[in-house]
Copies of this chain bind each other. A is one copy, B any other.
Amino acid sequence: MTQVKPMRADARRNYDRLLKVAAEAFAEHGEGASLDDIAKRAGVGSGTLYRHFPTRQALLEAAYVDRIEALGARADEIAKELPPGEALAEWLYELCVGTIQVRGMKALLGSAVTDGSKAALTACGTSMKGAAQRLVEAAQREGTLRHDIEPIEVLRLAHGVSTASELANGQGKQIRRYLSLLTDGLRP
């Protein structure tokens, strides 16, 4: 489903450059980075940017899908190496680190787990929810995680932990600490 017809060569070139520049810009200035500026730095007009990516959200998502999907794949790797409970904790840790370090990703992951918006069906949202579901269900089967909790709730809570850690501003030192508080609370 990537594309019914292959893109024209120039379109493809511009698309790729925009993505590359956007990832840098969002990482540097956060999700509020100037879109016209991204267009300029990619050497295209703003019209081109808005045609490829109608909203800021769309660009944000496109710029980080690969990273998100890597995180999804990472869930399965970790699941092979550690017992379910620890695997979940470790994956959440990596998720939080990513959320904080790559500045633009916070907004993206946040909207991916927001209830009630139409953003629920984005590619990266699906990927995250899938990964979370596998780890959560395994941990519940093992008996190290409460049964009265849904995968998406775990993602939301992890987002909360990221927010709290960000406030502490200690270059991520707090993440493990705060996350362990959460996992303690999540035991049966």
Contact = CB atoms under 8 A, between A and B. Distances in A.
Contact of A164 (B116, B156, B184, B186): B156
A114 B170 CA distance: 11
Contacts of A1: none
B181 A113 contact: no
A168 B182 contact: no
A143 interface: no
Given A157-B178, A160-B178, A178-B157, A110 B167 contact: yes
B170 A181 contact: no
A156 to B, nearest CB: 4
Q: Report copies per complex.
A: 2
A168 B186 CA distance: 17
A77 B168 CA distance: 29
Contacts of A36: none
Nearest to A166: B114
Given A115-B168, A153-B174, 15 more contacts: A113-B167, A115-B167, A153-B168, A156-B167, A156-B168, A157-B164, A157-B178, A157-B181, A159-B163, A159-B167, A160-B160, A160-B162, A160-B178, A180-B185, A185-B186
A-B pairs, 9 with minimum CB distance: A160-B164, A185-B185, A160-B160, A181-B185, A184-B185, A115-B169, A116-B169, A163-B163, A156-B164
